[in-house]
């Protein structure tokens, strides 16, 4: 079969779950033609993942999806409560409480949202298909992948049984842990899933999704709490409390809480399948009644009544009840030649830290710009360095993955511990830690700062470790100088959709007096930037909050100042989410350590930061060399 029989594109993405869809959205925003192959005809209605951390929210923002997050996709999860003991009471005092409703993680966002995955995927599909560079094929099954020379040749079968042929520069398998890419192409080449953490955890749990309707005096006239003056909403809040619970019951650990919008009244309950039990049987109604219903049955003594009070069963609609494995695994390699794995195809997480979808998003955003870099290089007789570029991507991602996994395992340890001595030590150590302010604050924050730990450098990685390279760029709120206009997220002004440069230059100034010299310095690197770093796209951010009172000697194009938490709270960006409690507008400047010039990669990683013109010239020259190699 000749090449003329193949449809040609730059990238083929196999799988259109959250990871594949986000990768597509980013490739589309960076003008890379690609085809997405998805075996399902429609987005599944089954709410699987329900938690997305602040990195994931930031990734959605980068794909142009922000307004729907709190109006359609989900809501802030606010507090995580860890409760102990064997009594099945959700309202008891927590021995550990983490507040994820604050804005302290360096992204400008809350710590977690609880979302409806089908709605999340709907908005991702809208973002990806709004680009003329994306071609989505649903109800299509990948049946063959082979690599020859500078291309990957693949075949898929559509819903009518017709075979289609694709020729691409790269193919990305985002088709999950049982998908075709890894199972049929990668595993015969020696790529396999392995244990990903020394604290091995591999158990079966049951995941239950309920949709709750409110009982009323009319529908349930004999419900005893009406006589005590409770309203339908108050009854719902009593039996299905707002904060997410990690139920550290040594007899049977569980996790439960609301998800989606408050008006959806959706509830997730997950519990472990014990040794000797069958997961499928434990997901049956009779066993759900034994395991879960005690948590929504309150003792009458709580209300001064004789009989126990159960939430009306006919107000519960079961959306999902099925077993699944909690495991921590990662592939020994994530790419072979021009074929790449990402998301669940490359690694799987236990869900104690809400890192499944977020980790796939991190894969996608950091892979997207590398594919852009590789695809814009025309095939030639010169050997391609795509394996080095993809290897660097894997090395970086593996570092972050291990940190996320350690955090997830740590949360899981709280939930699943069954040794009485260890439980006692855990509870007493946490009790005493609360007396030390800094430790108490760290406990309240959870593990939010771990995502900001810099990458460790090894040869070939695309950042300069001598100049703060490999650190995560903090996101702040800002406003245009000389205007009473809207508040923006800093990512949106640095990485505007209309910008052409792959790497972007941010100039962070302490005050307006540095502006003229900074502009002169940027103009000096224009010649050596060789159109890789577009100097005319540089963003200037003044690190003072009262800049409006200072004189500006030149135009204010691309010039912004920091915005306050109060300004953000009054803007449309804060609609539907908590106000930015504990937000530090100066966190970006502090993280940069006084450096003015910051070269930033599209995945929000600092390539390098420096403070004078000579170092800036060296930084830009090195970046250009990498981008043109």
The helix/strand/coil state of 473 is coil
Architecture of domain 463-628: 3-Layer(aba) Sandwich (3.40)
By mean pLDDT, which of 23-37, 243-257, 485-499, 541-555 is the weakest? 541-555
User: What mean pLDDT is predicted for residues 160-166?
Assistant: 96
pLDDT level of residue 49 (50, 70, 90 thresholds): confident
Q: 592 pLDDT exceeds 90?
A: yes
pLDDT > 90? residue 548: no
In the predicted structure, residue 340 carries a pLDDT above the cut 90: yes
C-alpha distance from residue 318 to each of 254, 337, 468, 520 (Å):
18, 45, 51, 64
In this model, does residue 447 exceed pLDDT 70?
A: no
Would you say residue 245 has pLDDT above 90?
A: yes
Instruction: Please work out, in degrees rounded to the nearest 5, the angle formed at the alpha carbon of residue 488 by the alpha carbons of 67 and 519.
Output: 150
pLDDT, tens digit (0-9, with 9 covering 90-100), for 360-417: 999 999 999 999 999 987 776 566 789 999 999 999 998 888 777 776 666 667 777 7
Residue 552 pLDDT exceeds 60: no
Q: How does DSSP assign 316-335, residue by residue?
A: EEEEEEEEEEEE-EEES-SE
Q: Where in the chain is the domain with CATH 3.40.30?
A: 463-628
Q: What percent of the chain has pLDDT over 70?
A: 93
**CA angle 558–528–530, rounded 5-degree value:** 75
**DSSP structure string for 483-515:** -----EEHHHHHT-TT---SSEEEEEESSGGGH
For the domain made up of 7-73+116-196+328-413, the CATH class stated in words is: alpha beta
What is the model's pLDDT at position 553? Answer: 44
* CA proximity to 354, closest of 282, 427, 259: 259
Whole-structure pTM over 0.95, yes or no?
Answer: no
CA 520 to each of CA 22, 101, 525, 592: distance values in angstroms, whole numbers, following the listed order: 38, 42, 9, 21
Rg from Cα positions in the chain: 26
Three-state SS string over 188-217 comes to HHCCCEEECCCCCCEEEEEEEEEEECCCCC
Among 72-76, 362-366, 392-396, 553-557, which stretch is predicted with the lowest mean pLDDT?
553-557
DSSP string across 272-315: EPPTT--HHHHTSHHHHHHHTGGGGEE-GGGGT-SS-EE--GGG
Q: What is the pLDDT of residues 196-244, one digit of tens each?
A: 655 556 788 999 999 999 999 999 999 999 999 999 999 999 999 999 9
In this prediction, residues 268-274 reach a mean pLDDT of: 94
Residue-wise pLDDT tens digits, 278-327: 999 999 999 999 999 999 999 999 999 999 999 999 999 999 999 988 77
Fold topology of 74-109+202-327+419-453: D-Amino Acid Oxidase; Chain A, domain 2 (3.30.9)
Instruction: Enumerate the β-bridge partners of residue 9.
Output: 168
Task: Report how far Cα 77 is from the mean position of its chain's Cα atoms.
Answer: 14
Q: How many CB atoms are located within 10 Å of the residue 237 CB?
A: 12
* pLDDT greater at residue 413 or residue 18: 18
pLDDT the model gives residue 426: 79
The two tokens of residue 69 are 């997050």
CA pair distance 94, 65, nearest whole angstrom: 35
The yes-or-no verdict on residue 351 having pLDDT over 70 is no
């Amino acid at each position: 079969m000749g090449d003329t029989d193949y449809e040609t594109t730059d990238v083929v993405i196999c799988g259109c779950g959250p990871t594949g869809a986000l990768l597509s959205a980013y490739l589309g925003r960076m003008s890379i033609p690609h085809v997405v192959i998805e075996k399902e005809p429609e987005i599944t209605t089954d709410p699987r993942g329900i938690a997305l951390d602040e990195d994931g929210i930031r990734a959605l923002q980068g794909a142009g999806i922000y307004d729907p997050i709190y109006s359609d996709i989900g809501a802030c999860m606010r507090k995580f409560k860890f409760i102990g003991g064997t009594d099945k009471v959700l309202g008891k005092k927590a021995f550990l409480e983490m507040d994820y409703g604050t804005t302290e993680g360096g992204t400008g966002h809350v710590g977690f949202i609880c979302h409806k995955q089908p709605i999340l995927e709907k908005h991702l599909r809208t973002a990806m298909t709004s680009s003329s560079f994306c071609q989505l094929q649903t109800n299509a099954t990948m049946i063959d992948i082979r690599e020859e020379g500078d291309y990957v040749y693949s075949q898929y079968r559509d819903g009518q049984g017709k075979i289609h042929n694709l020729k691409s520069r790269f193919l990305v398998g985002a088709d999950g842990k049982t998908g075709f890419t890894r199972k049929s192409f990668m595993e015969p080449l020696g790529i396999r899933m392995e244990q990903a953490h020394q604290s091995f955890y591999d158990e079966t749990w049951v995941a239950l999704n309920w949709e709750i309707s409110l009982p009323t005096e009319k529908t349930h006239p004999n419900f005893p709490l009406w006589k005590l003056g409770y309203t339908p909403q108050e009854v719902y809040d009593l039996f299905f409390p707002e904060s997410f619970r990690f139920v550290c019951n040594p007899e049977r650990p569980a996790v439960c809480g609301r998800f989606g919008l408050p008006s959806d009244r959706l509830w997730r309950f997950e519990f472990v399948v014990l040794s000797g039990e069958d997961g499928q049987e434990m997901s049956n109604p009779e066993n759900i009644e034994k395991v879960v219903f005690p948590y929504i049955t309150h003792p009458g003594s709580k209300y001064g009544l004789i009989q126990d009070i159960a939430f009306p069963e006919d107000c519960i609609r079961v959306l999902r009840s099925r077993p699944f494995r909690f495991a921590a695994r990662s592939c020994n390699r994530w790419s072979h030649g021009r074929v790449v794995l990402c998301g669940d195809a490359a690694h799987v997480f236990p869900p104690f830290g809400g890192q499944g979808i977020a980790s796939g998003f991190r894969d996608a955003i950091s892979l997207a710009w590398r594919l852009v870099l590789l695809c814009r290089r025309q095939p030639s007789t010169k050997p391609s360095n795509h394996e080095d570029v993809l290897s660097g991507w894997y090395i970086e991602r593996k570092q972050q993955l291990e940190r996320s996994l350690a955090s997830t395992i740590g949360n899981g340890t709280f939930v699943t511990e069954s040794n009485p001595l260890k439980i006692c030590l855990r509870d007493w150590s946490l009790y005493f830690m609360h007396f030390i302010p800094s430790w108490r604050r760290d406990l309240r924050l959870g593990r939010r700062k771990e995502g900001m730990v810099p990458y460790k450098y090894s040869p070939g990685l695309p950042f300069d470790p001598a100049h703060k390279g490999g650190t995560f760029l903090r996101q702040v709120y800002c406003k245009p100088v000389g205007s009473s206009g809207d508040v923006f997220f800093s990512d949106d002004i640095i990485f505007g959709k209309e910008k052409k440069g792959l790497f972007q230059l941010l100039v962070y100034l302490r005050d307006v007096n540095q502006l003229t010299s900074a502009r002169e310095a940027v103009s000096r690197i224009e010649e050596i930037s060789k159109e890789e770093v577009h100097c005319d796209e540089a963003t200037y951010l003044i690190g003072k909050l009262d800049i409006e009172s200072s004189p500006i000697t030149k135009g204010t194009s691309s010039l912004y100042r920091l915005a306050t938490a109060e300004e953000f709270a009054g803007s449309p960006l804060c609609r539907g989410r908590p106000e930015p409690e504990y937000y530090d507008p100066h966190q970006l400047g502090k993280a940069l350590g006084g450096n003015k010039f910051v070269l930033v990669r599209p995945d929000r990683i600092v390539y390098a930061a420096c403070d004078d013109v000579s170092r800036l010239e060296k930084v830009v020259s090195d970046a250009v060399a990498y981008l043109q190699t």
